Structures are given as C-alpha cells and as structure tokens.
Amino acid sequence: MDASWSDPRHVLDVVEQVLSAPRPQLLSRFSAELGKLVPHRAVAMQTGDCPRSPLKVIGDETITHAVTSVELQRLADRSEPGKALVIDAVLGGVERRLVLLAAAPAIGQGAVLAVVPEAAEPPAAELELAARLWHIVSTDAGQRALDPGPDVLAGSLAAASARAHAITDLGQTHAATLATILAVLRSGRLSDVVARRTAIDVAAAALLELKGVVDRDEVLSAEQVDAAFEVLKTQLADLVWHTEVDVDLPAPVGEASLPQDIAHTARTLTRGLVLGALDRPTTTRLRASWRVDGSLLRITVRDDAPEVADAVPPRRLTERLTALGGDWEVDAVPGWGTTVTAVLPLGVAEPPDLRPLDRLNPRELEVLSGISQGLRNRQIAEQLQLSEHTVKFHVRNILDKLDVSSRGEAAALARDLPLEPVAHRSA
C-alpha cells in the first residue's frame, strides 16, 4: 500500500474529495480513489437510495455494458456489510474474480459495489481500508437521499411513476405470454412437436419485445384509437389463437387521438380484464371492445362465466384507472356473466358537479336507491341480480364519491332526491 495512506491527513483529503462530488459523479470519484488502493477494470453499484437509477456502472465497457441488476442482487445476497469479500461470481454475463464491498449504514438503504480487480488476490490491508471508505461514502449517500433538492425530488417522483406504469405493463405482457404458452401446451388441436415449437416461438418473440421495450413510444406522442387498438390485438394475438375460449376483438367505434398515457392505460386495462376473464374456468366466450363516447373512452370486456365472485377489477388496475380520472362500471349477474367497463376521460374537463349524485353512474344510483330503502347488500344483490361481492364494490365507490363514511349518510343525501326504487329484474 502507498505510504501516503498511512497519513491521516491524506485519508481525510480522500474522504473530502469523494464526499464533495455531486451525486452523478459519486461513483466515478470513488472509483478513481479506490483505484489507488485496489487497481481495477470496472465497478458496478446497486443502491436502494436512488429510485431514478439504482444500477450504475463505470470502467471497461466490454464488462459494464452487459451488467444487469439481477446479477447485482445475487451479489448483494452474498455480501457482508462492512467487509470486503473476494469471490468468484458472474458479472456482465461472465464468471470473474470480484471484490464485493457492501454497506448497511444507519441512514439510508445501503449499497453493494462489485469491483473487477486487476490482481486476483488484492492485499488484505487495502481491502479493509476500501471497505471502511465505502461505508463512509454509503452513509453520506443515504443522507443525501433523505434530503434531496427540489429538482432531484421532482425527477425521482416522475421516474417512480413511470417505473410503476412500466412494471404494470410488463407484468401483464409477461402474464399474457405465460398464459399463451400454457394454452399452446394444453391445446388438444396441436401435436406435441407442433405445440413445443409454437411455445418456443411465442417465448422468443416475447423476449425480443422485452429487449426493445426501452426504445418504444415517446412519452409525448399520441395514437389514433384504431392504431392503439391494433397494438393491443397484436399483443393478444397468440393468446387469442391458442386459447379454447372464443375471443372477439371488434374494431373500435368512433375516432379520437389518444394521448400516450391514455393509450398505454387503455391497453393495460383491457389486457388485465381479458386475463381475469380467461382465468375463470367456465368462461367460453369473451368480447373486448373500445368505444369513443364524446370526451370519454369506454373499454368494455364482457364474458359469459356464470360465477361472478371475482368480477371486481383488481386494485392495481383501479389505481391505474383512477390516476387518470377514470372509473369502473361493473355489471355482474350470477348465471349470466360479467360486463366490466372502464371509462377514461380523454383530457377534456368535465362540467362541474351540480349535485352529489351527479358523480354516480347508473348502476351506483340503483344500488344507492336500495340503500335509501334500508335494504342490505344481499337484498340489493338479489333484486338487481348481482353478486353480493359486486354490490359491496359499488357501495364502497358510492361512499368514496359522495365523501361520506356510512350508508346512513349516503341515504341521507339521497332522501330528498328522485331515485327509482330497486325493482326485481326478470332473467
């Protein structure tokens, strides 16, 4: 080790140099100082303190270009905070000799650093000093993460929102691919050889799409509704072809230019509802359609499964819909099937509410009428031929929209307003 490292003033100078670096330059500054202790070819870092860019790399591009977050997570599982470990592990798709530096400071989430050293066995004294220096740097990084500037905070929030949308989209694409592969392998219309070859083709196509996902669709662009729906049909084509369920995807009704977030959300909601309907074992027919209704886009998925207990859309889809000012309409009739409609505004402001009940859709008004008559959920479900679970969903939405906390308060708002009494529907 260089004798200067034995001088406390030199060590403090190094610490000052590293900690004074702006956040984007922190890894490069640390790598430069670490190189004087442990000469290396490349460094990869994964941290829990930076939602915008948790994986960072520097050094030999033949190594860094192939590094993945999955590799860093596996290395993190093998690391020991506060210690420098010399191990053989995969980084950048190749097994190599690595030095792992990990920190778990009292502030922040900590980070793991994978270093590709020049020497196979770096000296122990240098490794110990490197581990201590990394702990100091990680503590400072954690403190910065807890007290970000306004520009950093705004960027992080935007990145987190974009990442949440991407995760939902990719998760549903992944689910559709797996469902397609299962449908192919279970199909009685294909021989084993053909089914295996088809499943391989589906998986290969999905991998190609996944690799190109980063380069798709600019955030500020827009899509015509028919073109946006064609993208959806392409995404579902293999699943529709191989499932035993009769799936109908008619062309959209109406014309409109969809903002990019609306187009993405419409496809996400439709895929989610289609997959949910196909997951019900008694579904034999399914129809998914889009309709432009003035300033609204209506996404309707209708199936014929007689059981409707799980007809309520999952929370992750509800959160995606409500974030854009949308709402659900659920019509689930035991023995007859389920119709779920997502209503998405296309960016045109709605007129102000004239009264509280203007916020409710027709089905919610019917349920509220039952509440105002003193009926219980089971009675309302029987008279409207819905499942009790679906009625509970509508009651929850009614309370939220009317900004009340009880059925009694909701009934009080409706008492002086003209509501049709709940009538039993004939099948």
What percentage of the chain carries pLDDT values higher than 90? 17
150 or 83: which leads in pLDDT? 83
Per residue in 52-94, pLDDT tens? 557 888 999 889 888 887 788 889 889 888 889 999 999 988 8
Confidence of residue 287 (pLDDT cuts 50, 70, 90): very high
* Residue 50: band (very low, low, confident or very high) from pLDDT cuts 50, 70, 90: low
The mean per-residue pLDDT over the stretch 141-162 comes to 51
Per-residue pLDDT for 157 more than 60?
A: no
Confidence category of residue 161, pLDDT binned at 50, 70, 90? low
Average pLDDT over residues 20-29: 79
For residue 196, the model assigns a pLDDT of 80
Instruction: Give the model's pLDDT for residue 302.
Output: 92
**For the stretch 239-252, what's the b/e string if a residue is b when 16 or more beta carbons lie within 10 angstroms of its beta carbon?**
bbebbebebebeeb
- Is the confidence at residue 427, as pLDDT, over 50? no
pLDDT at 343 over 80: yes
Q: Quote the pLDDT of residue 422.
A: 54
Residue 148 predicted with pLDDT over 50: no
Q: What is the pLDDT of residues 219-265, one digit of tens each?
A: 445 688 998 899 888 878 877 887 889 999 999 999 888 877 788 88
Banded pLDDT at 347 (limits 50, 70, 90): low
Percent of the chain past pLDDT 70, that is, above it, reads 79
Mean pLDDT, residues 416-422 taken together: 55
The contacts found for 369-378 with CB under 8 angstroms, 24 or more apart, are: 369/414, 369/419, 369/420, 369/421, 369/422, 370/422, 371/395, 371/398, 371/407, 371/410, 371/411, 371/414, 372/410, 372/411, 372/414, 372/415, 372/419, 373/421, 373/422, 374/411, 375/422
- In this predicted model, what pLDDT tens digit does every residue of 266-279 receive, in sequence order? 988 998 889 888 88
What are 1-18's pLDDT values in tens digits?
666 777 888 888 888 888
Q: What's residue 53's pLDDT?
A: 56
Residue 331 pLDDT class (50, 70, 90 cuts) = confident
Identify the bridge partners of residue 55 per DSSP, sorted by sequence position.
Answer: 46
pLDDT tens, position by position, 353-376: 456 677 788 888 888 888 888 899
pLDDT at 207 over 80: no
Q: Evaluate if residue 349 carries a pLDDT over 50.
A: no
Mean pLDDT taken over the chain: 79
Looking at the predicted structure, is the pLDDT value of residue 290 above 90? yes
Using a 10 angstrom Cβ sphere, with 0-12 exposed, 13-18 middle and 19 or more buried, the burial of residue 291 is middle
pLDDT band at residue 106 using 50, 70 and 90 as cut-offs: low
pLDDT at residue 379 in the model: 92
Query: Using 50, 70 and 90 to split pLDDT, how confident is the model at 408?
Result: confident
Residue 162 has what pLDDT?
54
Determine the average pLDDT of the residues in 371-397: 88
**pLDDT value at position 351?**
43
